[in-house]
Amino acid sequence: MGFLGFTTYRDITAIVESDFEKRFNEQQQRINQLDSIVGGYEELVETLKLTEGQSIENLNDVKREFRTINKKVASTQEALKYSTRIYVANSLIFKTNKNEKKLVQKYWFKNLRTIYATKLPVFKTASFVFTQMKKGGVSLIIEDITKDFVELRLSQESLMLYDAQLSDHIFDMWIAEPK
């Protein structure tokens, strides 16, 4: 110190301090940048934790909904087990003629269409059939019924009452499929 002098010492100290301060500031900036990056990661981790919690809650909600739906499906299936399907074939014609009194006519289920224009199913056993006339006072009697067809005839009362006016009669057929 004596050789270089006090001023030179102060200059060297100032240079060292300045260099140290510059490097310290650079390191502080890097630390601040890393601190901000770490803060971003911490926020992301928090968001992921919240999302995970919400996902678990949503998954539990979905499981509850599926359980409810499964119960309803089981209940509906149980109710359908005892229900009967009913098909309506409308605007069928029972042909009558004055000259030939055809009393019995056969209606094949495979040839009938429902009111929705769909085919009837293939029945495993004889169905329940009910007929309803569209107009007029005639009535039809079921002569025979199988799983494939139904035979209908005009009732004796209809033949006696309407003998002079025998014509085609339009009717609907209600078919109930037994379980």
**Per-residue pLDDT tens over the stretch 110-155:** 999 999 999 999 998 898 999 988 876 678 889 999 999 999 987 7
Model confidence over 18-44: pLDDT tens digits? 888 888 888 889 888 988 888 888 888
On the question of pLDDT at 102 being above 70, the answer is no
pLDDT at 6 over 90: no
Max avg pLDDT among 52-56, 156-160, 161-165: 52-56
| pLDDT tens track for 48-93 | 777 777 777 777 788 888 888 888 888 877 776 667 788 999 989 8
112-120: long-range contacts (C-beta < 8 A, 24 or more apart)? Answer: 112/173, 112/175, 113/89, 114/87, 114/88, 114/89, 115/88, 115/89, 115/90, 120/87, 120/89, 120/175
In this predicted structure, what is the pLDDT of residue 173? 93
pTM for this one? 0.53
- Report which of residues 173 and 51 the model is more confident about: 173
